[in-house]
Copies of this chain bind each other. A is one copy, B any other.
Amino acid sequence: MDKIKDQIDLSDPKNKRQHILDAAYIVFSRKGFHRATVDEIIKLADTGKGTVYNYFINKENLFYTLIEERSAPFRHHISNIKKDNIPPLEKIRLMTREFLSFYDKHADLWRVFMHEVRCFGEVGYPGFSEEQQKKCRRNFEEPLETLEAVIKEGIEQGLLIVASSKQAAYGLLSAILAIVFQKLIGDEFDQTAENIARVFLFGIANK
Contact = CB atoms under 8 A, between A and B. Distances in A.
5 contacts: A89-B205, A161-B205, A161-B206, A199-B203, A202-B205
Interface in A155-174: 158-164, 166-168, 170-174
A4 interface: no
Contacts of A115: 32, 111-112, 115
Given A166-B184, A174-B175, A174-B177, A200 B204 contact: yes
- Oligomer: number of copies: 4
A46 to B, nearest CB: 20
B164 A170 contact: no
Interface of A, helix, strand, loop or mixed by DSSP: helix
Taking each of A31, A119, A184, A206, which has the highest tally of chain B beta carbons within 10 Å of its own beta carbon?
A: A206
A178 interface: yes
A203 B202 contact: yes
Contacts of A178: 170-171, 173-174, 177
Contacts of A67: none
B205 A119 contact: no
Taking each of A184, A191, A204, which has the highest tally of chain B beta carbons within 10 Å of its own beta carbon?
A: A204
A107 to B, nearest CB: 11
